[in-house]
Amino acid sequence: MILLKRIVNEEFNFRSDVMNNKVDILGVSVDSVTMQEAISKIETFFEQRKPTLIATANAEMLMRATHDEELKKILNAAELVVPDGAGTVWAAHHLGYEMPERVAGYDLAQELMKRAPLKNRRVYFFGSAPGVADKAKLKAEELYSGIKIVGTRNGFFKAEDEPQIIADIKTAQPDLLLVALGVPKQEKWLAKYKDELNVPVSIGVGGTFDVMAGIMKRAPLWMQKAKLEWLFRAMLQPKRAGRLIALPKFVLKVHSSKQKS
Ligand code: UDP
C-alpha cells in the first residue's frame, strides 16, 4: 500500500526521446495526444477514406493486452490509440513521457458526432443490448441536430448472424462506425472486418451507447476531475468491482517495467 502511494504520488521529469508522440505502456503503443490533436488526426482519416481503427486505451485494456497477444497486436497496428483514463496518463508520466490529457472514448465519440452534420457524415451504431443503440440514436438526434445515423444493430449475435450484420453496415455506407461490444471483442471484431466494411473511421466505444441511452450514468464532473471515474463505475456496477483489482496490478506492473528498462 505504501509502495503504491509512493509510486502514484511521485513527481515527473519527462524524457525527450518520444517518437511520433507514441508512448510504450506495457508493450502497447499509445498516442500522446490531446482531444484536439486526436480530432485532427481523425479528420485526416475521414479525408483519406482508408479504413482505420481507433482504440481507447484505459488501464484495464492495457493490462489485458499483457496476456492477450492478439489484442496487443491489434492495438499496435491501430491507426490511433487514445489515452482513455487517468491510469493511462499516470502510466505515461511514471515512465517519463509527456501525455497532455486524458481523451475519454465517450467524449471522443460525442465530439465526432457533433461534427458529423457539419461534414455531412453518416454514422452507424453497432453494439449493446437490444434497443439500446436505438435509444442512443434518438439521443444523438436530439443533441446533434441534422445528424445522420444510418443504421443501428444490437451487439448480441451468433457467428451465423455476422454476414448479415456486415452486409447491413456495407449497405448503410457509414463514414463513422461506433462499435460497443466490450473489450476486447469490439477491437477483435473490427480488426477482422474493418477492411471488408471499408468504413473510414471505426472506434470501439465500450459503454457509450449505455450512457447515451440513460442506462448507465457517467461519473459527475468532480469525480472525473478527481480521477475517480473508475470508483463511480464500480459503485454503480458492483459486478465490475472485481475488475478493479486490475488497477493496483497495473500500477505495480508499470512500475516494474520502468525498473527493468
Ligand atoms: N456488449 C455487447 N455484446 C457482447 C458483450 C457486450 O453488445 O457480447 C455490450 C454491452 O451491452 C455494453 C458494451 O458492450 O453496452 C460494453 O460493455 P462493458 O461495459 O462490459 O465493456 P467494457 O468496454 O467496459 O469492457
Instruction: Specify the pLDDT at position 19.
Output: 63
**What is the Å distance from ligand 1's center to 143 Cα?**
23
| 3-class secondary structure, 249 | helix
Instruction: Specify the pLDDT at position 253.
Output: 95
Among protein residues, the one whose CA lies closest to atom 6 of ligand 1? 181
Among protein residues, the one whose CA lies closest to atom 15 of ligand 1? 128
Instruction: Specify the pLDDT at position 11.
Output: 66
DSSP string across 83-151? E-SHHHHHHHHHTT--------HHHHHHHHHHHTTTTT-EEEEEESSTTHHHHHHHHHHHHSTT-EEEE
Whether the CB-CB separation of 246 and 60 falls below 8 Å is answered with yes
Q: In this structure, what C-alpha cell is assigned to residue 219?
A: 461519473
Pocket lined around ligand 1, Cβ cut-off 6 Å = 127-129, 155-156, 180-183, 185, 206-207, 209-210
Cis before 184? omega within 30: yes
Pocket test for ligand 1, best of 62, 126, 181, 190 (most atoms within 8 A of CB): 181
Atom of ligand 1 nearest to the CA of 208: 15
**What is the Å distance from ligand 1's center to 32 Cα?**
26
Q: What is the residue type of 13? A: N
Atom of ligand 1 nearest to the CA of 156: 3
**What is the Å distance from ligand 1's center to 260 Cα?**
35
Atom of ligand 1 nearest to the CA of 210: 15
Helix (H) or strand (E) holding 178: strand 176-180
pTM: 0.92
| Residues with Cβ within 8 Å of residue 45, at least 6 apart in sequence | 52, 79, 80, 200, 201
Instruction: Specify the pLDDT at position 3.
Output: 66
| Burial profile 228-252: b = 16 or more Cβ within 10 angstroms, e = fewer | bbbeebbeeeeeeeeeeebbeebbe
Q: Which one, of 210, 237, 194, 188, lies nearest residue 106 by Cα?
A: 210
| Residues with Cβ within 8 Å of residue 207, at least 6 apart in sequence | 106, 180, 216
| 3-class secondary structure, 201 | strand
pLDDT tens for the chain, 261 residues: list them. 666 766 666 666 666 666 678 999 999 999 999 999 999 999 999 999 999 999 999 999 999 999 999 999 999 999 999 999 899 999 999 999 999 999 999 999 999 999 999 999 999 999 999 999 999 999 999 999 999 999 999 999 999 999 999 999 999 999 999 999 999 999 999 999 999 999 999 999 999 999 999 998 888 888 888 888 888 887 887 777 777 788 889 999 999 998 877
Among protein residues, the one whose CA lies closest to atom 17 of ligand 1? 182
Instruction: Specify the pLDDT at position 10.
Output: 67
- The β-bridge partners of 55 are 81
Count the alpha carbons within 13 Å of 251 in the hemisphere toward its beta carbon.
17
Among protein residues, the one whose CA lies closest to atom 21 of ligand 1? 182
Whether the CB-CB separation of 175 and 46 falls below 8 Å is answered with yes
> How buried is residue 77: exposed, middle or buried, by Cβ count under 10 Å (0-12/13-18/19+)?
exposed
